[in-house]
């Protein structure tokens, strides 16, 4: 039933909601009115953390589902949970200081690459068997 992948997908939406909230809070705190996206370095870090997370989700979700469908669903779920943790670390680290985003980025990047490789391996195996 792909419960792990489904839960990770729902949690990913919550991470995006968190990122939106953090940008909105920063807009109010630093007086950056839409559509402006520059003007205060603290706001700009929150904005970039959000944008980068959105960019990563576009790659992460297909990799998660390919790994769940063609690889091992339980391992895909655990890697998905690791991606979630990495992204949350990334968001809060980047907002504090740009240099503090590295650990979160590495955790989420390694998880996503592992998911993609797992999915590709399973697809290739299925193609060769069929």
- Cα(122)–Cα(88) distance, integer angstroms: 29
Q: Smallest Cα–Cα separation from 53: which of 45, 65, 42? A: 45
3-state secondary structure of 97: coil
Kindly report, residue by residue over 33-67, the tens digit of the pLDDT.
999 999 999 999 999 999 999 999 999 999 999 99
Write the pLDDT tens digit of every residue in 91-103: 999 999 999 999 9
Looking at every residue in the chain, the average pLDDT score rounds to 97
Q: Per CATH, the architecture of 3-129 is what? A: Up-down Bundle (1.20)
Q: For position 130, what pLDDT does the model report?
A: 79
* Mean pLDDT on 4-31: 98
Domain ranges of the chain: 3-129
């Amino acid at each position: 039933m792909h419960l792990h992948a489904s839960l990770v997908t729902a949690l990913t939406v919550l991470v995006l909601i968190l990122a939106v909230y953090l940008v909105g809070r920063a807009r109010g705190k630093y007086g950056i009115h839409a559509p402006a996206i520059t003007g205060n370095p603290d706001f700009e870090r929150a904005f970039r953390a959000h944008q980068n997370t959105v960019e990563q989700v576009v790659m992460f979700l297909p990799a998660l589902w390919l790994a769940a469908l063609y690889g091992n669903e339980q391992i895909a779920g655990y890697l998905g949970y690791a991606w979630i943790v990495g992204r949350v670390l990334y968001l809060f680290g980047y907002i504090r200081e740009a240099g503090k985003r590295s650990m979160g980025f590495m955790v989420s990047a390694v998880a996503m690459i592992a998911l993609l490789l797992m999915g590709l391996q399973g697809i290739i195996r299925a193609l060769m068997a069929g």
